Amino acid sequence: MFLIKLLKIMSPIPIFEPVIIKITDLNIVFKVDYLNPIIIRTNEDPDLSMTSESLRFLFANSFGFDTLTVNGCFNEEKEGGFSKATKILAIENLNNIGIYVNLSIFFNISVLIMFFLRLKKVERSLSQS
């Protein structure tokens, strides 16, 4: 966890920021913070919205965020909400393809380029819908 906190401080872009998720079928808004294992209820404007089943799937499966992204089982509620969420929820996706969050990731240009190109592609797709 120390490394994640250090990377958050050192990163030139905002990463590991809390994500605000609205659970549509329960009409509840939660703050998910990778650096704090407690999910708290909040009144803040959500970054994303999804059903409780989608949120359960997200947390229960290491490939959950990828699957939700592909099948569109969430909505971006705030401009930049998806991008913000990706920077915290895609960590498991990186682990699944053998890329682990450590200091060397900032020096692996190919990983950074791959991550940001995919992020931009999905952001463009979201803005067109």
pLDDT of the residue at 19: 92
111 Cβ partners below 8 Å, 6+ apart? 94, 99, 105
Domain boundaries, the chain: 2-128
pLDDT digit string, tens, across residues 68-89: 888 888 899 998 888 888 877 7
Residue 12's pLDDT is 63
**Structure pTM?**
0.68
> Within 10 A of 43 (CB to CB), how many other CB atoms are there?
7
Comparison of pLDDT for 46 and 89, the residue scoring more: 46
Cβ neighbours of 123 (radius 10 Å): 16
Is the pLDDT assigned to residue 1 strictly greater than 80? no
Return d(Cα 24, Cα 48) in angstroms, integer: 10
Q: Which of 52-61, 82-91, 96-105 is most confident?
A: 52-61
Between CA 82 and CA 102 the distance in angstroms is 23
Mean pLDDT of 5-21: 72
Collapsed DSSP state (helix, strand, coil) of residue 66: helix
66 — alpha (psi -120 to 50), left (phi > 0) or beta?
A: alpha
Distance of CA 28 to the CA centre of its chain: 19
Q: Report the pLDDT value the prediction gives residue 28, as an integer from 0 to 100.
A: 97
Higher pLDDT, 58 or 96: 58
Report the alpha-carbon distance of residue 123 to residue 128 in Å, rounded. 9
